[in-house]
Amino acid sequence: MRKWFTRRREGYTLVEVLTGLFITSMVLVLLVTSLQFGGEIAGKITGKMIRGQESRRACLFLQKQLSKSREIFVKDGRVYLQDMENLDYYNFYTIEASGTVYRNKVDKVKLEPIKTGGKSQLIHNAVHFELKLEEKNAVRLIIEFIKEEPAVDVRFYYPNEVLLR
């Protein structure tokens, strides 16, 4: 008796090849999508960590400068803190359109910028930066990096013996 449904197979049929290609392509699509999604999540986490580190560094720097200042100037709404390195200079902070916040050194007497070393970068990629004097011996610092994220909003208190001008 002959077996009608059994034969020697030396290759694959077209249906088997197409099914194998379809399954392989589905696995590759899922793999690429998961890798891309993982990369996006890692990028967001890394960016959040960098912004957190920058805001902490700025807060610590300004807190240290405020604790060492013996005089604070307020002129035209701008807060001038006494420089930590040289008491003949004051520092004020500005944000540029690029999002970089700079510390600007000015002469104590004329409040004019010094020539060399008068400008240094504090943080970058900020959307909003504000340093203002408040009542009850406090200076308020607000740093905002991204509109959707909460801003850093800190009050630093300075000792009563600081001279305000």
pLDDT in tens, 24-47: 999 999 999 888 888 888 877 888
Give the pair of three-digit tokens for residue 86. Answer: 């040289």
Residue 54 has a pLDDT of: 87
Asked whether the whole model's pTM tops 0.85, one would answer: no
Within-domain flag for 2: no
The beta-strand segments (E) located in 35-96 are: 71-75, 78-82, 89-95
The answer to whether 146 and 127 are in contact (CB under 8 A) is yes
| Pairing relationship of beta strands 71-75 and 163-164 according to DSSP bridges | parallel
Within-domain flag for 16: no
Within-domain flag for 22: no
Within-domain flag for 17: no
Within-domain flag for 25: no
Residue 15 has a pLDDT of: 92
Residue 18 has a pLDDT of: 94
Structural domain containing residue 101: 38-164
Q: Which residues of the chain have pLDDT under 50?
A: none
Within-domain flag for 14: no
Residue 9 has a pLDDT of: 64
Give the pair of three-digit tokens for residue 37. Answer: 């999604």
DSSP state of 113: B
Please count the structural domains in the chain: 1
Within-domain flag for 26: no
